[in-house]
Amino acid sequence: MTERWREEFEAERTLLNERVLASGHLGIKRFFALDEQAYQSGALPTKVKELLGLVASMVLRCDDCIAYHLIRCHEEGVTREEFQEAFNVALIVGGSIVIPHLRFAAEKLESLLEK
């Protein structure tokens, strides 16, 4: 059961991204390509870049973006302790308004780690 949200999240995300890109708008397509390239390993490894994306998503308070970067961080081997410290930075920078998103992230993280 714990992985169902992830499968549903990823299926929905893929479907809707296809719809967005089906519009054929070149600027939007190119932005999506830049977005993907921004997290590729370079001077900073992908793991660090995904943590940057996760914390940015938490302080900007976007659950959909948090879910995406949680999954990607998990794939890159971020441990429970590293997640907690990144969550703490997001909480301190962004304040109590971040707490509902911290609850969301904590819940999704458990299901990823339980697998």
How many other C-beta atoms lie within 10 A of the C-beta of residue 68?
18
# residues contacting its own copies (CB under 8 A): 61
- By the rule CB under 8 A, 49 interacts with its own copies: yes
Name 20's Cβ contacts closer than 8 Å, sequence gap at least 6: 28, 32
What is the C-alpha separation between 36 and 107, in angstroms, rounded? 26
From the list 8, 11, 75, 103, which residue makes contact with its own copies (rule: CB under 8 A)? Answer: 103
Binding residues among 1-40 for its own copies as defined by CB under 8 A: 13, 16-17, 19-20, 23-25, 27-28, 30-31, 34-35, 37-39
